Structure 1
Amino acid sequence: MKWLKRIFDFYLDASIHVAFAVYALVQISFQTLNIFSDQHLSFFVFFGSISCYNFIKYGVEAEKYILVANDYQKGIQFLSFIAAAIAIYHGSFLSFEVWIGIIGLVLLTGLYSLPVLPKSKNLRSLGGLKIFIVALVWAGTTVLLPILAAEEVLSWDVGLELTQRFILVFILLIPFEIRDLAYDSKELNTLPQYYGVTKTKIFGGFAILLLFFMTFLKDELSVEELILKGFLFLILGIVLFITKRKQSKYFASFWVEAIPIFWFALSIAIERLFITSLEVALSF
């Protein structure tokens, strides 16, 4: 069974799991906003997330990323290069407008991870900004890029979905921030460091309420979306409630990151249920 655990750990360490989460959020945007599903963008985001996340985790110092010490990291490095090549292939089919959005997000990611500021190593090292930058990049990637790919306008509903996605990622990052209390430098000034675990969870609870009730402000609101947001409201509330400083190894890295994947799977199930119910109704 050790080889199964090793494969599972590689799946997490090589950022495949988080890439599936990003991919799932892109698909949800296609469904929720009722826009054209661009599969080249979907695959670009999936494979690009693998290479990008692995570079942030392991390759901030380029020398260490090229001169890898062990076979395990070499495997992650090899996967990252293959994923980058596949992402570039799919990226070649994307429009100029989408690439403008991608470049903007890449620059923001670079400022987040690379030492480009004179008095700070990167934006990540600036107190309190870490969680907001990550949420902004995820929201832009999973909502703004699909809108640009579908050549849709930035309507009121799109703005609401973009804001909700930012809030969602912000909430999902809270368990990670609490988990990393023992490892993060005090200079980061993360929410749990500044406000404490209890107040951070209360703040996250208010964010969950805001995320759900913003749904009712949409001009076009379907029953399916309302049900999905309701399930998301419950899942996020439960996860935030059970989050502790001392977590199991896979609580945040697997279960929390799996929430967008479960959400997407649920959206497919509900969509098929509604289609089946409609077909049954029409048959009478």
Structure 2
Amino acid sequence: MNWRSYLFHFYLDASIHVALSVFALIEISCVFFGLSRDNHISYLVFFGTIACYNFVKYGVEAKKYFLVANTYHKNIQVVSFIAGAFALYHSFFVSYEAWIGLAVLSVLTSLYAVPLLPNAKNLRSLGGLKIFIVALVWAGTTVVLPIVAADRVMDWDVTVELAQRFLLVLILMLPFEIRDLDYDDPELRTLPQRYGYLKTKFLGAAGAIVFFFLTFMKDHLTCFEVLSKGLAFLVLGVLMGVTRRNQSKYFSSFWVEAIPIFWWACILVLDAFLIP
């Protein structure tokens, strides 16, 4: 494996890519609501996502992981601990209200991998519920936290944005569910297992339509936001159209998770050059 391939795989496996996607969605919320950026919240979430996602991915077999991990995985451990340290540093600069939100989201994230009671199931093993928990955590992290950090009231427009973000993340998770259809335990009862591959794609497309038209329920709406949400709607529609059961290796893990980053980049271009 050459160094470019190594860095790319490490970028994905160490959860840096997914952390950048979460960071992008926070920045999008700041643009839509005209918030002054709270760097501590943004960086806390970025580094915290790396640490938390690696905990979820590798923490189930933590003992085995620490004992037999090769150099590659030990490097991921090092990055995770460093990211956790940076997250802890930035956490000292956030407000009390933001701390409460972070605590609730952290508990949900922990229960995703670790059961609350001995011999109980974690949330990750509850396939029918899993994607809704993940979507809720992402929506809360990328909408509620920046709003709370900016000391803004949770008004109707924020509620609509929260619902849209929940739908967005839910739709982005469907290609992963479809990809794993042949490998997931039937007891998980994931959406593709319950409704089939084609109906799941249809549900995703319908969700994209609901996502877009929720925009018009906001009290304060601009052409910029309509255009931005319209772009996201088109991307989500195309995504549902091209998603297959037999996916290329990086379709979900790279391209699907890159959609929030692409959306953020497009919003920055629109905001800087096209929208007066």
- Please confirm whether the aligned pair reaches a TM-score higher than 0.5, indicating the same fold: yes
1:175 corresponds in structure 2 to: 175
- How many Å apart are 1:215 and its aligned residue? 0.3
SS in 2 for 1:128: helix
Report Cα offsets for 1:198-234 as digits up to 9, x if no partner.
0011111110000000001111111111111111111
Identity across the alignment (%): 59
Opposite residue 61 of structure 1, the aligned amino acid is E
Gap change, CA 1:24 and 1:63, over 3 Å in 2: same
C-alpha distance in structure 1 between counterparts of 2:267 and 2:228, whole Å:
7
Alignment of 1:132-143 (within 5 A): 132-143=132-143
Please show how residues 39-78 of structure 1 align to structure 2 within 5 Å: 39-78=39-78
CA contact (8 A) 1:65 1:77 kept: no
Q: Which residue of the partner structure matches residue 148 of structure 2?
A: 148
Q: Within the alignment, does 1:108 sit opposite 2:103 as a pair?
A: no
What is the SS of the residue equivalent to 1:182?
Answer: coil
Tell me the residue number matched to 2:91: 91
Deviant stretches of 4+, over 4 Å: none
- Deviations 1:155-209, CA, capped at 9 Å, x for gaps: 0000000000000000000000000112211121100011100001111111000
Deviates more, 1:167-176 or 1:62-71: 62-71
Structure 1 gap segments, 5+ residues each: 279-284
- Distance in 1 (CA, whole Å) between partners of 2:209 and 2:264 is 20
Aligned counterparts of 2:75 and 2:95: Cα–Cα separation in 1: 32
Distance in 1 between residues matched to 2:93 and 2:68, nearest whole Å: 33
Q: Deviations over 1:16-75 (max 9, x none)?
A: 000000000000011112222101100001111001000100112332343352001001
Shift of 1:235: 0.6
Secondary structure at the counterpart of residue 183 of structure 1: coil
1:30 aligns with 2:30: yes
Alpha-carbon distance in structure 1 between the residues aligned to 2:147 and 2:68? 38
Partner letter of residue 78 of structure 1?
V
Tell me the secondary structure at the aligned position of residue 101 of structure 1. Answer: helix
1:267 maps to 2:267 = yes
Q: Distance in 1 between matches of 2:52 and 2:109?
A: 9
RMSD: 1.3
Distance, in Å, in 2 between the alignment partners of 1:61 and 1:144 is 32
What's the counterpart of residue 163 of structure 2? 163
Q: CA deviation at 1:113?
A: 1.1
2-structure distance, mates of 1:49, 1:98: 16
Q: 1:281 maps to what in 2?
A: none
Kindly indicate whether the alpha-carbon contact (under 8 Å) linking 1:157 and 1:218 is maintained by their aligned counterparts in 2: yes
Greater displacement, 54-63 / 7-16: 54-63
User: SS at 1:181's partner residue?
Assistant: coil
Deviations 1:213-265 (A, max 9, x none): 00011111111111111111111111111101110011000000000000000
1:93 partner SS: coil
Residue 119 of structure 1, CA deviation: 5.9
For residues 186 and 10 of structure 1, do their structure 2 counterparts lie closer, same or farther at Cα, with a shift above 3 Å needed?
A: same
Cα pair 2:38 2:149 within 8 Å, conserved? yes
Q: Distance in 1 between matches of 2:9 and 2:119?
A: 36
Q: Normalized against structure 1, the TM-score is what?
A: 0.94
State the shift of 1:120 in Å: 3.8
Residue 247 of structure 2 is matched in structure 1 by 247
